[in-house]
Structure 1
Amino acid sequence: MSISRDSFHSRIGFVLSAAGSAIGLGNIWGFPTNAANNGGGAFLFVYLVVTLLLALPALFAEIYIGNQAQKNPVSALGEACANRMPRVGRTVGKIGLCGAIMMLSFYTIVAGWMLAHALSAISELAGLAELSAWLSSDSTVRNIIFTPVFILLGAAIVHQGVHGGIEKWSARLMPLLLVMLIGLIVYILQQEGAGQGLAVYLIPDFSQVTDPKLVISAMGQAFFSLSIGVGGMMVYGSYMQKDKDLGKLVLSIGVLDTMIAFLAGLLIIPALFVAQHAGHEIFNNEELIGEGQLIFQILPALFNSMGTVGLIVAAGFFSLLSIAALTSTISSTEVPVSYLVEEKALSRRKATWLVSFIVLCSSMLLVAFFDTLFGLVIRVLTTIFQPLSCLFYFFVVGWIWNRGNKLTDKSVLDKNIYLKLWGNYLRFVCPVLLTIVFINVAFIA
């Protein structure tokens, strides 16, 4: 029995949804942290170069496979590999489902932290000091409460469908995220010390651009910030009308994602130097103290030192991060949901809540064995799983997939020199670049 597929109803709806998938905590915190630790302006310059050379082609490859198949990632990869290795294609697609669950298992925990910190600032404003202190503390009980809350928020959107849920809420949340981000930037840049951070961020020292550590970090950040390799972009591509200006759509997503990362740098790096100007220690041997954990240490201390205005800024800042996390989690949730709906004939409602239950169990396992599993799952996903998945996508598009693939169809390529050049770039150059990233990030960085 054929199943009628939901879809995006507009170009802007697809772009905002796909950009929402890419724009998450990695953009708004990971990018600025990497920039601050790796030369500021020099990191920004290299990041922009490798985004253009590597990350956007990888994004195109993933979306292209889903768009041409008009199916979930398991079926799409199976169809693309049908002539040579159909079982391998479907197996990689199913492994991608596991990758999406892995991502959700730790991402929902971190997103719960963001939500708790936003509520902590609001509680402090309301005079509930004890509640505020508990919300900002690092406790297992808090994780057990707020992780399910965030999972429920994502499920509530996904079960409404592609147009009625994902597209509608992305169209609401993404503009709100942008407005909040710009508002916070305007406020932070007016504080003492912000100018020093701005100079560090925007003025590159070109003598650093060949530093291997900086290049590796920028390449890894560019690749991972676009949320490639777990099937989210593939399933979103399948919900868009076939051959609907994919190149322009991918470019739009990349530009929006990079713009948000750039704006996040304009917020976070000056904010760190504002904190330093206020007497907070932020660097130790020229590296940020605690790196990713700084967001829960230095910035809350800075906000608290600002009095009531600081608490309002804190509420806005952590709400911003919660929105960014939510738009990313709904795309990863959609990966296994689409598979269960299309191949196992489950209703969207049942599929959504089944996936959410599996994510909840996985998240609680990480909470129970936090010190052992949390960092390990993140490293395995981001330094091994995602690069290998995208490397496979490049091989599929360039070498394995023949029937229906315009990038390898000689009759099409002979008539379009630009498409031929693009196909050869994806076929030869990108696998080499991605292999270099994978080797360096996994075994050297």
Structure 2
Amino acid sequence: MASSSRDEFSSSFGFVMAAAGSAVGLGNIWGFPTQTAENGGAAFVLVYILLAFLVGYPVLMAEFTIGRHTRMAPPDAYKKLGGGQSYFIIGLLGLVTVGIILSFYSIIAGGMVAYFVEPIGRILGLDGVADWVVSQNTTSNFVFMTIFFLFTLLIVSGGVSKGIEKWSKRFMPLLFMLFIVLVVYVLTLDGAMEGARVYLLPDFDKVFDPQLLTSAMGQAFFSLSLGVGGMLVYGSYTSDKANLTRLGWLVTLCDIGVAIIAGFLIIPAMYAASSLGTEIFDANGALISGPNLIFQVLPSLFDSMGPIGVFVAFVFFLLMSIAALTSSMSMLEAVVAYVVDRTQVPRKRATWYTGGVFWVIAVVIVFNYEALFGLVVTAATEYAQPFLGLAIVVFAGWIIRKNVLLNELKKGQPEIEKTFFYKIWPIFLKVVCPILILLVFLQTFNF
């Protein structure tokens, strides 16, 4: 049962910053730019933006609406709206999935914190400490994963308005500001403009390439943190007076905006590094992406920049740490909300108990990195998330009674029934979104 004293976001701005923070994560920064460069440049960006609004936005609206209507976490919300025991189990699977994602995500995020600390060690003349910090051995990974986890726990234990919202309102504007500063600086480096051309020049021959379409679809859907419960839970903390369609647009625009700005930073930075002798292509000829991009290519660039490189590295990894933290907050909150609703355990205790479970899982992964890390990443992101995404659009489009969602949206927008959005939204939930998400799911199995 949901608590009658359930916390709420105190403002629309706070909600947008928190939800955008959930959506804006490391994937936006290291995944989107390299996918863009490899899949038609600006052509990929156009397809991505289109699919973000055609698929991501309708599903995001479904999660927000279900969350606010039920004031519950996913398992109980699905069951209340007619999903029965099957969807209750799917809701639990979503919470398990997001917890596992949090566990391995915290290891990567801990690396961001380590590289953020490393320049400070250099400035203080503690070169031995700085070298250990970024050594990425088991001990340093454990230490910085734990530090990152503690920050997440402290913020979430503070509650919705005084914890998540308070810090999201501080972190997200800072993240945007740091992005702009770094983009302006990186574009002045030798070789950067070649990267900008690769990023911006469209190759429209690739627009109808099935690989481009599925890549853009996957990026658009999963960058918005859909399917695993975080957005649904955030919706449950939203005021009845809030215009959900407007908030959904703003969150989607923020997510797209950060991804596009990241492209202006990452791709020019990679080509600037290349001009200094750093290898930016892997053995298959594709641009290096993921952790290798962040922990190998860019640090080489910063090292080559002399004294200014220490400052640039500090700012860049501060940015990365913030992006990781705003996402981890929503991951943990999705599970904490369910524990609090179900058990009525005080929030702080529920946060530390729940976080402790996922911290233990992260510790197991750290100490068995080679065997487990790739396995849990693949299981959670390539199999569980697409399945959960498909399940929620089927639920929203075919199981929930249409008037339930309509009446909920009317609370903050009485005229919603007359809008273009509402006329096409049900069609997208019933037909368009399931088909497109199913295509991504089938691509995972190489069908």
**TM-score, length-scaled by structure 1:** 0.94
Q: Counterparts of 1:283 and 1:108 in 2: how far apart (Å)?
A: 27
Q: Counterparts of 1:397 and 1:286 in 2: how far apart (Å)?
A: 42
Task: Specify whether residues 289 and 433 from structure 1 end up closer, same or farther in structure 2 by C-alpha distance, changes over 3 A only.
Answer: closer
Query: Cα offset for 1:291?
Result: 5.0
2:351 alignment counterpart: 352
The RMSD of aligned alpha carbons is 2.1
Q: Counterparts of 1:290 and 1:338 in 2: how far apart (Å)?
A: 34
1:383 alignment counterpart: 382
Q: SS of the residue aligned with 2:362?
A: helix
Amino acid at match of 2:354: V
Q: Counterparts of 1:431 and 1:407 in 2: how far apart (Å)?
A: 20
- Asked if 1 retains the 8 angstrom alpha-carbon contact of 2:30 and 2:290, the reply is no
Worse-superposed segment, 92-101 or 343-352: 92-101
**TM-score, length-scaled by structure 2:** 0.94
Choose the corresponding residue for 1:194, options 188, 192, 195: 192
2:327 alignment counterpart: 328
1:8 alignment counterpart: 9
Matches within 5 A, 1:12-411: 12-81=13-82, 85-242=83-240, 244-284=242-282, 285-289=284-288, 291-402=290-401, 405-407=404-406
Deviations 1:315-354 (A, max 9, x none): 1101100000000001011111111111111000110000
Deviations 1:354-382 (A, max 9, x none): 01100111101111221121112111211
Worse-superposed segment, 248-257 or 213-222: 213-222
Query: Cα offset for 1:96?
Result: 1.5
Q: SS of the residue aligned with 1:288?
A: coil
Query: Cα offset for 1:43?
Result: 2.1
Q: Counterparts of 1:403 and 1:26 in 2: how far apart (Å)?
A: 34
Choose the corresponding residue for 1:424, options 400, 424, 427: 427
Task: Specify whether residues 127 and 215 from structure 1 end up closer, same or farther in structure 2 by C-alpha distance, changes over 3 A only.
Answer: same
- Asked if 2 retains the 8 angstrom alpha-carbon contact of 1:398 and 1:408, the reply is no
Q: Counterparts of 1:141 and 1:270 in 2: how far apart (Å)?
A: 33
Task: Specify whether residues 96 and 196 from structure 1 end up closer, same or farther in structure 2 by C-alpha distance, changes over 3 A only.
Answer: same
Deviations 1:213-254 (A, max 9, x none): 222222111111111111000000000023621111111000
Note the residue ranges of structure 1 that are not aligned, 5 or more in a row.
Answer: none
Amino acid at match of 2:374: G
- Asked if 1 retains the 8 angstrom alpha-carbon contact of 2:113 and 2:144, the reply is yes
Worse-superposed segment, 8-17 or 423-432: 423-432
Amino acid at match of 1:307: G
- Asked if 1 retains the 8 angstrom alpha-carbon contact of 2:14 and 2:169, the reply is yes
Deviations 1:188-225 (A, max 9, x none): 01111111111111111111212222222221111111
Query: Cα offset for 1:59?
Result: 1.4
Worse-superposed segment, 110-119 or 27-36: 27-36
Q: SS of the residue aligned with 1:241?
A: coil
Q: SS of the residue aligned with 1:237?
A: helix
Task: Specify whether residues 377 and 243 from structure 1 end up closer, same or farther in structure 2 by C-alpha distance, changes over 3 A only.
Answer: farther
Worse-superposed segment, 252-261 or 118-127: 118-127
- Asked if 2 retains the 8 angstrom alpha-carbon contact of 1:407 and 1:420, the reply is no
Q: Counterparts of 1:99 and 1:173 in 2: how far apart (Å)?
A: 26
Deviations 1:391-419 (A, max 9, x none): 1111111111127524599xx99964742
Task: Specify whether residues 204 and 350 from structure 1 end up closer, same or farther in structure 2 by C-alpha distance, changes over 3 A only.
Answer: same
Note the residue ranges of structure 2 that are not aligned, 5 or more in a row.
Answer: 409-413
Q: SS of the residue aligned with 1:287?
A: coil
Deviations 1:89-126 (A, max 9, x none): 22111111101211111010000000001111221122
Misfit runs of 4+, over 3 Å: 289-292, 406-409, 412-418
Equivalent residues, number? 440
Q: Counterparts of 2:127 and 2:417 in 1: how far apart (Å)?
A: 69
